[in-house]
Amino acid sequence: MPDNQRPMAVTLQVVSIVLFTFIGYLNIGIPLAVLPGYVHSQLGYGAVIAGLVISVQYLATLLSRPYASKIIDNLGSKRAVLIGLVGCGLSGVFMLLAAWFSSLPAVSLGSLLIGRLVLGSAESLVGSGAIGWGIGRVGAQNTAKVISWNGIASYGALAVGAPLGVLLVRNFGLWSMGVSIILLAIVGLLLAWNKVAAPIVAGVRLPFMNVLGRVLPHGCALALGSIGFGTIATFITLYYTTQHWDNAVWALSLFGASFIGARLLFGNLINRIGGFRVAIACLSVEVLGLLLLWLAPNAHLALAGAALSGFGFSLVFPALGVEAVNLVPASSRGAAVGAYSLFIDLSLGITGPLAGAVASGFGFASIFLFAALAATGGLLLSVYLYRQAPKARETRDA
């Protein structure tokens, strides 16, 4: 891509590619607010199992990252996205089976778990593939823009998908979610099929474990900051239920809206003042939002806490991600994105059962204090990385 290409043209090209991330994450968002309640209330399982149904998807994404990164770097990011969209459609088939066998709790739960595993593997291909595709089309100098817009697409899809899933199940039943996911995957495949692929970058591919070691500290800070999102996404509906508050789904939507708003308003700050400074500011705001959720005496302040948390978490991923991706050569960019993203998968994968255990022992409000403490750890690690950045740059250049 020419360096003098207009910013709006770059943005439109990026948006046309991260559209596939939006479709993929819409498939994730549609069941997000429904499944914990379905597993807990209709199938009769406890809070830990309800959390596991959500988290097993992130664990599958975590485990499939190395393989997905290899596909992106060697076969191309477009092909990775196409394979991922096929996986999204297959997860909808298992959702249909879970609805069909709702009278047999064990079979229904098993179908849900298999579908979540398939969806998690598809997520690693679509999400990282779209980032690689975008960077390949608009140039490495626009990495922060690609990652930011990819995040807007993913969390925007979660914000839209959560209330959409509730409406679908309320009006038509659980089967309607499965049908919607299959149809969305087909639409995504039709749109992606004829789009121009990004060139495959030639060069030496660093071993995945080598790349993982380079991005490890950045990923750990991201993982600690992501626990707040995982806690809100998985348990906000059950938290509202225990508090006898209505409209929990709006807390998820407000989280997503604040997240998107912050990225649109402040996304350029990463290139202007540096990723570490942005991450430090964002994690500080996220901690305040999670503490407000923990202490909220009513639904209105809980909504404010969710909004503040979304605003704070908004730029953590791209801010630390730009610093992480810059540590490897362009030929291993897919591996860097995959290795770095692995940490958010790990975080979200363990958050469900872990926060469920905290909720069982100390009540649902306590999970937000737990998340705030984790985000504080991410904040302190980001401060440390910021102070060590000059030394890290010298090592990389050497």
The answer to whether residue 390 is domain-embedded is yes
pLDDT of residue 4: 53
The answer to whether residue 262 is domain-embedded is yes
pLDDT of residue 392: 66
Which tens digits make up the pLDDT trace of 34-55? 888 788 877 878 777 887 887 7
The answer to whether residue 1 is domain-embedded is no
Domain count along the chain: 1
The answer to whether residue 326 is domain-embedded is yes
Give the pLDDT mean for 272-300: 93
3-state secondary structure the chain: CCCCCCHHHHHHHHHHHHHHHHHHHHHHHCCCCCHHHHHHHHCCCCHHHHHHHHHHHHHHHHHHHHHHHHHHHHHCHHHHHHHHHHHHHHHHHHHHHHHHCCCCHHHHHHHHHHHHHHHHHHHHHHHHHHHHHHHHHHCHHHHHHHHHHHHHHHHHHHHHHHHHHHHHHHHCCCHHHHHHHHHHHHHHHHHHHCCCCCCCCCCCCCCHHHHHHHHHHHHHHHHHHHHHHHHHHHHHHHHHHHHCCCCCHHHHHHHHHHHHHHHHHHCCHHHHHCHHHHHHHHHHHHHHHHHHHHHCCCHHHHHHHHHHHHHHHCCHHHHHHHHHHCCCCHHHHHHHHHHHHHHHHHHHHHHHHHHHHHHHHHCCCHHHHHHHHHHHHHHHHHHHHHHHHHHHHHHHHC
The answer to whether residue 193 is domain-embedded is yes
Give the pLDDT mean for 347-369: 85
Instruction: Please indicate, yes or no, whether the overall pTM of this predicted structure exceeds 0.85.
Output: no
Query: Looking at the predicted structure, is the pLDDT value of residue 10 above 50?
Result: yes
In percent, the amount of the chain with pLDDT more than 90 equals 36
197: confidence class by pLDDT, cuts 50, 70, 90: confident
Give the pLDDT mean for 97-119: 91
pLDDT of residue 1: 45
Query: Looking at the predicted structure, is the pLDDT value of residue 76 above 70?
Result: yes
pLDDT of residue 270: 86
The answer to whether residue 2 is domain-embedded is no
Most confident listed range (60-74, 117-131, 158-172, 346-360)? 117-131
pLDDT of residue 290: 96
Q: How many CA atoms lie within 13 A of 22 on its CB side?
A: 17
Q: Is residue 300 left, alpha or beta, with left meaning phi > 0 and alpha meaning psi from -120 to 50? A: alpha
Domain extent, residue 101, equals: 7-397
- Sequence-distant (6+) residues with CB within 8 A of 162 are 29, 30, 32, 33, 249, 252, 253, 256
The answer to whether residue 333 is domain-embedded is yes
Which tens digits make up the pLDDT trace of 221-260? 999 999 998 888 778 888 888 888 887 878 878 887 898 8
The answer to whether residue 172 is domain-embedded is yes
pLDDT of residue 2: 45
Q: Is residue 207 left, alpha or beta, with left meaning phi > 0 and alpha meaning psi from -120 to 50? A: beta
396: confidence class by pLDDT, cuts 50, 70, 90: low
Lowest-confidence range among 147-151, 265-269, 344-348? 344-348
202: confidence class by pLDDT, cuts 50, 70, 90: low
Q: Give the mean pLDDT of the chain.
A: 86
Give the pLDDT mean for 309-333: 86
Check residues 139 and 302 and name the one with the higher pLDDT.
Answer: 302
For residue 106, the domain's CATH number is 1.20.1250.20
Most confident listed range (59-68, 86-95, 144-153, 330-339)? 86-95
